[in-house]
Structures are given as C-alpha cells and as structure tokens.
Amino acid sequence: MLAAWWLCVVAVSLSATALSALDPEQEVRVVDPEQEARQYLELLDKEYGRRANVETLAEWGYASNITDETLQYKLNVSAEHAKFQKQQWLETIKYPWHTYKDPDIRRQFQKYSVLGTAALSEEKFDKLEKLVSEMESIYSTAKVCDYNDATKCDLSLEPELTERLAESRDPKELSHIWVEWRHASGEKVRSQFEHYVALSNEAAVLNNFTDASAYWLKDYEAEDFQDQVKALWDQVKPLYQQLHAYVRRRLNEKYGDDVVNRRGPIPAHLLGNMWAQTWNNIFDISVPFPGKQNIDVTEEMVKQGYTPLRMFKLSEEFFVSLNLSAMPETFWKNSILEKPEGRELICHASAWDFYDSKDFRIKQCTAVNMEDLFTAHHEMGHIQYFLQYKDQPFIYKEGANPGFHEAVGDVMALSVSTPKHLRKVGLLDGASTDDPEATINYL
C-alpha cells in the first residue's frame, strides 16, 4: 500500500513537471548552432589578430636588424603562435561548418580549418622556421669582392651590386658580380633549401595535400589554374620571343659574338638586373630610336635633389589624387625608406600589415633612381590595399589570391611610369606628342 502511494506521488510530480516545461510563460532557450559558431569566430578573430600583431612585430624586428637576439625572439614567438594554431585548430574542426547556411561563416571556418606548417611536430616546425631565417640571413648579408680590387670584399646586393649591374658595360665585371653573388648566397643555402623543401612537402601532406606545390595553389581556388597560366603564356610568348630576339641582337652588336650568340639564349648577367627580370637598365643599349627623348628620369631626379622620403611623398600624392588614403602618421614614423648605417637587414622592398588596423609600414633600401621610384609606388599600392581591408575579420586580411597584391602594386607602378604622368610631376620635359618613334621607345 505504501509503495502504491509513493508511485502515485511520483506520477503526479512528473506530470506537473512536464506541464511546467510546456508552459508558454516559461523562458525556453533555443540554441542556434550558427550563432554559437559566429560567436566563436568573433573570439577567434580577436585572438588571432592580437597574436598576428605580436608575431609580425617580431618578424619586423629581425628583418630590419639581423642579429642572433632578434632571430631567437622571432623563432620563439613563431613557435608559440604555432602551438596556439594547433590548439585552436582542434577546436575549430569540431564545428559542423559544412552544414551552415551563412556563406561567410562557412568561408571563415574553411580557411581556419587548414592548419598549415603548424601541422608539423614542434621539433620539425622549429627546424623549418630556423631554415627559412638562415636562408634569409645568408641572402641578405652576402658580400662580394670588387672586380677591380680583390681586397675590397664588402659589396652588398643593395646598393652596390645592384648599381654595378645597372651601370657597368664591362661583360667580365658583370659576369664576376653575377657568379660571385650566387656563390655567396645561393650556393650557401643549398643544404637549407633541400631540407626546407622536404619539410614543406611533409607539412602539405599533413594538411591533406599531395605536396607543397598543391598546398600553395589551393588559394587560387581554380582546379585548372596551371592550365590558365599556360594559356596566358602561350598568348604572350610570340611577342616575348620577338622582344628577346631584338634585345639579343642589340647586345650582340654591343659585345660581339664571343659574348652574345646571335641564335642562343641571352647571358643573364648582361641584362642589368641580378635576376634578369627587368631590362630597363640596358635601355641605352636596346633603345630603338636613340635620337628621341629619353624617358629615364633618374638624372632629372638627382638634379632636382630627390631623396627617398621625397619619392614616397610623391607616391602618396599620386594615391591621394585618386581619392585614396593618405599614409597614416605611424607609416612615416615606423617605415624604413632607406638603408640604415651600421646594421644588416633584409633590403628586399616589402610592405607590412601589422594586423591592428593602424600600423602599416614599408621597408625599402631606396636609391634615387627611376626604378626605385616605381617600386615606391608599387609598395605603397600594397599599403593602399591593406587600408581598404583593414576593418575586415583577421582571416580576410590578405589578397584575394596570392597574386592579387602584386597585381595591384604593378598596376600602380605602370600608371606612374607613363610619359604623361612623368611630365605632370615635373620629371620629364617637353610637350606631349604623338610621335610613334617616341611611343615605341617608351614601350
């Protein structure tokens, strides 16, 4: 009898509880999975932004002052960031982001779900970071002996070797510079590079890619990307072959058959650039119509007393004239616009985003010449792109694809290299003409 009474009490109690749960006056909490995911991304965005700022400051410290201390600090910060990435990745992949309706949420989760080189073990990640830093240091601090003075062995890539390649017309000196700099740089990083390739491939496999090349291509988001590149090359190849043959003939006329074969490849050291990627420094040799106006404004820049700072101020004026942003004060305060005395640094021109929406910098060992003037506009083009997406979530603070930033920079550089613009800024004399020979010289 007692047991039956107790069962009745329990039944009544459960019924009351069930009714209470269905009472519309009671607050019912419905969990929205996408809202939870959005909140997670907001927290992740703030933390990644904070850590990226710290890591970029460490990278800048090393790139602008190569010492054992700045290297070790950079490596320590990178290792700590990799640990965070790995921990956060384990949390991120728990979310069923493929099922979310919001394309923005799916997109952010997709990008966060690729771990990158942090997928390596701590030991191998540290090794990879150290290899990259060693290669950067060797490349940036490489020194070559003077061709005319074997006791003078302090010639750096920037500015001495770059200037010699641009100005010398002695093929033996040019060959000496080209070969010796590669002995001092590329030859010395071969072992590190081989290990770097192996670790990069291993990291790619850990991220479910076949190798590092497949990992690098993923951000172009086109399965036929390589076919697209080949198709573009096939379009431009006939023009390039004609240009190549024309320049080769002019170099042959300058140096003779013993130096330049009229049917073979062009010796790279004769093209005025350490990597033969631009040929503007041999314009005096290759110009089709020497009697027409010279569009190289280097001499005029020197005559007018241009400095690296003035070159960047001119670049800023150009962007402001397009109704784009002036550089923030922190840019002028923190950038390195010419090579400092008394310390080694990575001189390769580069633009930097410090991921705090206010700190943007350029590091460039600027020389007063036309090529570096265009480079200044190119690098500031990167800064303009940074400024346009500075308020986006951290994961979107990058180019639309790995080549897009360079496209933006080069479009800006091309825009300021026209005779019309150079006349407008007072670096080229004379009125604009429709002289076809002058136009061909410019092209």
Cβ distance 423 to 430 under 8 Å?
A: yes
Please state, in angstroms and rounded to a whole number, the distance separating the CA atoms of residues 204 and 212: 5
Q: Which residues are annotated as a binding site?
A: 220, 378, 382, 406
- For the chain, helix, strand, coil in percent to 5 are 65, 5, 35
Q: Which residues are annotated as a binding site for Zn(2+)?
A: 378, 382, 406
Please state, in angstroms and rounded to a whole number, the distance separating the CA atoms of residues 89 and 106: 15
Please state, in angstroms and rounded to a whole number, the distance separating the CA atoms of residues 309 and 95: 50
379 labelled catalytic: yes
- Tokens of residue 182, six digits: 């590669």
Please give the single-letter amino acid code of residue 350: S
Q: At a CB cut-off of 8 Å and minimum separation 6, what does 49 contact?
A: 355, 356, 394
DSSP alpha helix (H) spans, 335-433: 370-388, 404-416, 419-424
Please state, in angstroms and rounded to a whole number, the distance separating the CA atoms of residues 419 and 438: 10
Q: Any bridge partners for residue 352, and if so which?
A: 361
Please state, in angstroms and rounded to a whole number, the distance separating the CA atoms of residues 217 and 223: 9
Smallest CA-to-CA distance from 294 within 282, 286, 284 is with 284
- Tokens of residue 409, six digits: 């920079």
Cβ distance 137 to 71 under 8 Å?
A: yes
Annotated catalytic residue: which of 129, 134, 158, 379?
379
Q: Which residues are annotated as a binding site for chloride?
A: 220
Q: Any bridge partners for residue 350, and if so which?
A: 363
Q: At a CB cut-off of 8 Å and minimum separation 6, what does 431 contact?
A: none
Catalytic sites, residue numbers: 379
